[in-house]
Amino acid sequence: MSAFIFPGQGIQRKGMGKELFSHFPEQVRQADRILGYSIESLCLEDPEQQLNLTQYTQPAIYVVSYLSYLRTMEQYEAPNFFLGHSVGEYAALTAAGAIDFETGLRIVKRRSELMSEEDQGTLAAIVGLPRQELQLHLNDSHLNDLYIANINSTSQIVIGGKTNKVDAFLKYCRERSVKAVRLRVSGAFHTPEMQPAEQKFKAFLATCQFQQPITPVISNLTGKPHKLEDFATNLSQHLTHPVQWVKCVEYILHNNVYSFIEFGEPAILSPMIEDIKQHALKNQPALKAAKSSTHAQKADRSEPSPFVMPEQALNFCKAFRCRSPLLVSSLNGAAGTTLIASLAKHGTLSMLDGDHLSNSELENKLQTLNQQPDVINKYGIVLSSDLYKQTTQLELLKQYKISYIEVSASEPSHALTTYKSEHPTCKLLARIRSIQELENFYAIADAICLELSSANTQKEPSLSLFTQALAYKQGQSSDTPSPYIGISGMAGNPANIHSWLSSGADFVIAGSVFTLTEEAELNPQTKQQLSQVSYAEYCTQPDWLFPDLNSSSNCYVLNSKVKDLNRQLQRAYLDSDQGSLNTIKQLLNQAPLSVDPQLLENVIVTAPEQLSRTREQISQIIAQEIQPYLIPGDSSLALFNTWRQTEKHHTYSAISAGQLSDLLCPSINISSDSLEQETWN
């Protein structure tokens, strides 16, 4: 378990961010526009000697810290926790997805302006005294209006107040050989001296848009994870209340975090953390046990225990060269190149849906994806269920060297069997719905996914197929490699995913939940509607892919009227006579559908011998009208929405694909060198 740490004031240095500004020109332009001056010039040259002034210090630290985080994420895995000291808390909130970069900078700019207005005070660090002993000295000095501002470690505490009072206490400390150092700040931050700024800051924060952090961010005020509903209150109160750094670090230590990455040079927080860690290990047996056990219990029983990735899931990640046993598929039209590329860069294996694309459309998307070097060989393709189309797709995939293919069928086709024998390092994932289908694919597939996402079943699927599949695998000879066994559909929240993995699944597949991500190719209104759907809107509906075969799919219905209209349209279509065509005309004129009456008239008024052509045109019109209201997919979205509402999480209408992947199943800490480096042949 790991945590990323962002520093506060005191870290500012001329030359800070030298290696970052040219690497992130867009963020630099945004910062310059918001601040009204050149952030690069301030940090590298400081021509007006302003870098140590609060209204300039805080924005500079925020920008450099966040850019440093972005650069670090090009090489490191996402952490389990974020933590920032004072103004560093805003870089942590931005990194965790609670606010975007521009909003964070606007908040920090306003915060720094308000704090700089209260410039009648300062801070001093007292080193070597525990809090109780320091309080005795404060009482003994008879200096009123001095306050605890930062509890940085067991042996470093910061006090603050008006400058003359702090200077008097420094003199008191020198006379008693107590080590005390005045800090390079221009106000008594995190003390009641900031009361005027607190009220103004709270009013400003009320105008800002926050989201629930994807990764927990520990609050300086409470020492516990931030909650969406408390942002304005906690962040404003933090101006007048001390930084509870010891509580923050102890919280993540109780959550089995022992790896810390600090942004900024020199590392001023790491020594504090080490002091807190050693003190905690010495005095709290629960933490000693946590350090030595991968299944340690937390001291706070009200918090859930951290999930430990099972060994079989780790083995799957190594074999499939991905950083999470969570795969993303069943996305249909929402899986555009942006979403696939984003997940590939994050290390999450995802599948581009080829079943609903023409060969030319599929090739265009493959060209787009393979123009990005860090995406090549890191995504897969869902093959068409049409055997002729599947054969032509396999020929196309040779050209683009696709490393992963997914197929849903009762048995492997001849073309697929031939392709796999010619390209054994290409991983084949087969979706099956019965033990017979598992047996058909067992010898050829690298992974087998059990379909448990039927809209006709109850919310909790039967374990029968899953237990049968595990028993079948255990009964096979160990002389030949067995395919990995996973499940799809029922992977819509962290607890559910952890439960399947703990029960023996090697991997899980989620689909529809990723239609909420900012990269998904759906319009914002549809995403907003999807963020509210439940199992009540999840059902089997005619999909008009093969209308003459009465084909249907599991869908989320975004308008209740469409559910009945769609089934009535299908019945009328299958009747195949002139009377049924008139019925279709009447149905298509009902709300919320809005077909041009003249278009229908032109299509339906036709000679009987042209009925076949008319029916084809009618099916195309129906599909076009119905499509916006029916979103095909699995049950992961309904599960996610139910969990989100129960846990009081914010609507995830702007969450990134990588953030959602980590929320559902955090990426594992595994280096690229330890992953199998098979090449496509």
Residue 498 known to be catalytic: no
The Cα 431–Cα 486 span in angstroms is 9
Residue 295 known to be catalytic: no
Instruction: Determine which one of 68, 112, 186, 190 is catalytic.
Output: 190
According to DSSP, residue 157 is labeled: E
CB atoms within 10 A of CB 290: 25
Both structure tokens of 502 = 């703990």
Both structure tokens of 137 = 């000295």
Question: Phi first, then psi: what are they for 433, rounded to 5°?
Answer: -125, 5
The Cα 346–Cα 338 span in angstroms is 12
The Cα 57–Cα 274 span in angstroms is 26
Torsion of CA 55, 56, 59, 62, to 10 degrees: -120
The Cα 170–Cα 258 span in angstroms is 35
**DSSP-assigned states of every residue in 327-344:** EE---GGG--HHHHHHHH
Angle at 599 between CA 596 and CA 601, to 5 degrees: 110
In whole angstroms, how far apart are CA 604 and each of 23, 588, 591, 597? 60, 12, 20, 10
Coil, helix or strand at residue 305: coil
CB 379 within 8 A of CB 351: yes
For residue 456, give every residue at least 6 positions away whose Cβ sits within 8 Å of its Cβ, in sequence order, or none: 540
CB 177 within 8 A of CB 208: no
Instruction: Determine which one of 65, 68, 86, 153 is catalytic.
Output: 86
Helices 195-205 & 101-117, crossing angle to 10 degrees? 160
Q: Which residues are catalytic?
A: 86, 190
